[in-house]
Structure 1
């Protein structure tokens, strides 16, 4: 290996920078999830287990969570709910599984289509999930969310197979904004988001859940502090992460897509080093400001927005939901829907302000969280490669996501 790979990285400081308070949208090319991506099934079902080599990252499709929970096991889990929730046929995983390790499957029942969800072991505390269910019930009259159905014991969570399980309505619609974008849809998306924020602001959590869902007039943004801590950890271990990522991806292959994964590691490495100092400075400035905080979705990106015609018919996968400033939701939503289209950013923010005012510091925080999210998405994927944690049944889907992330990182660096 070239000796230069052992040097400490130099985190370059751009000569010029956008000011906090100036919205600089970043181009989105495809659907990119940063830190709190989908909680859908990572599963295959179907044929016999196989090993997929993504270069040296071994993906055992039999190890997918859905495969480990057979239809018989899911049926026994569903026995905790009343007979109207019994499936008419075999549970079906979603067509585009996510990366969280959760299990999600659709079942057809007398109640209509339902979703059975098994949370990853140890993912979130039970008290937080129960409080999330209370929040969803609170906002359900205002926005389309899936409120979990109580089991026979009155609880919305059932413990089985070392997981917490819940049953909820399967919401209609398709996450198809990119294939059918329009100003009307964009306004509908931010209007729905504003409605969620207005309703969630009135939610009163139990004492045990205030850590995650309390509202306050002035506090530091948890996202800012979390990202600063994560950036610091990555900077201190960056060379090691890059070397480990290369070790897991440098395998000879005749497949062009798989072979170029190593190139993606190089791109993430270079772009992260070019942007890390700037993003850190912006987050540090934001950390010195207090913002109004309330329950936020924190991950309302493209694939979590279901559409029926020109209206939002489902806000799905709210696992990341917790207290923060509303800027985190606006950054995530607009960045994933319209990329760096300045006119659409202005249209989206203007439509949101018609329902909920944004202060100048909050507007600046939208930019900071959008830019830091773009840069850090690359580091998240590099860390997954370094830790050999890509257990997804569709390697090319993983590769496409990584390419989309590096495209957004490059757009950020081009703006600096």
Structure 2
């Protein structure tokens, strides 16, 4: 385990944080991206210091910071802000690592089962993120998310038809093995229907703009049911708002099913969805249910990647299996 403390102190000094004012630093529980984060407490304020994953580019980081800065300027005050270093930039490069310093978001993450007011607030925040940006930037084009899912579906379809699915016979984790087997079995059963569904959206045009892309409930903060913070835009990409709606809807689904009327009504209170965007959200969600497990098969079985936070892996696979059990009833098949 590398000792990041000396580098942290140098980075904080570059962000104009005097080391004498620092009262405490504590590592935050990590996700699965490979980033590292620490809560830094000074005598006056608290911050989140983050070391980005390897190969994270400066241009990508600056695009994220610009997107957040615009929205905070336009009134989205609960979105995390990024501090400037002595260089004038909102990042510091040190020994090949890329660092940023965020304002600390007070409050607590929502806990399962999520309350209706908390879910409504998270969906409203998604809508506000897409309503608060400066216009343009935006463009009308095909959804990159659909194109990516078509490519992934085709890749695994060919593996299945050529009998090249990875063998789980010698895979060692007794908890995850049956979950991964179910992911492969579900794709084998539904890949033809999924491929046709995705192709039905292949040439449709949508408004594209900055998307959070991975708005997980653990990245929101609440005081009871009052939203106090939203942070971590590290997955931000260019797509339609339906990408964010589908991601969050899947994350907060109950008993494997999404309450689409609730989700759309909440988002519409801050950013009106078109009928084609609502349809796209359902299609993307159905694809996410069937394809996300294949990513886990690739990471855990084919590539042998080990994750430090095994509890996160177990929770995500368990949630995914609940969704797979209800996939036959998914409304996307009726579109």
Long gaps (5+) in structure 1? 1-66, 205-213, 251-257
Provide closer, same or farther for how the CA distance between residues 121 and 274 of structure 1 changes in structure 2, counting only shifts above 3 A. Answer: same
* Distance in 2 of aligned mates of 1:272 and 1:113: 45
Identify the match of residue 115 of structure 2 among 164, 181, 185.
181
Residue 154 in structure 1 maps to residue 88 in structure 2: yes
Greater relative CO, 1 or 2 (CA 8 Å, sep 6+): 1
Deviation at 1:295, TM superposition (A): 1.4
Number of the residue aligned with 1:220 = 142
Task: Give the paired residue count.
Answer: 327
The TM-score normalised by the length of structure 2 is: 0.89
Is 1:324 the counterpart of 2:239 in the alignment? yes
Equivalent position of 1:46 in the other structure: none
Alignment correspondent of 2:72: 140
CA RMSD of aligned residues (A): 2.4
Task: Find the aligned partners of 1:402 and 1:390 in 2 and give their Cα distance.
Answer: 15
In the alignment, the residues of structure 1 paired with residue 32 and residue 256 of structure 2 have an alpha-carbon distance, to the nearest angstrom, of 28
> Residue 370 in 1 paired to residue 289 in 2?
no
Aligned mates of 2:258, 2:13 — CA distance in 1: 52
Contact 2:47/2:103 (CA < 8 Å) preserved in 1? yes
Counterparts of residues 6-405 of structure 1 (less than 5 Å): 67-84=1-18, 88-95=22-29, 97-123=30-56, 125-141=57-73, 142-143=75-76, 144-182=78-116, 184-200=117-133, 202=134, 214-216=137-139, 218-237=140-159, 239-240=163-164, 242-243=166-167, 245-247=168-170, 249-250=171-172, 258-339=173-254, 344-405=259-320
Contact 2:201/2:280 (8 A) holds in 1: yes
Alpha-carbon displacement from aligned partner over 1:325-347 (angstroms, at most 9, x marks no partner) = 11111111122123468794312
Distance 1:230 1:265 in 2: 17
Instruction: Report how far residue 188 of structure 1 moved.
Output: 2.1
User: Is 2:257–2:323's contact at 8 Å kept on the other side of the alignment?
Assistant: no
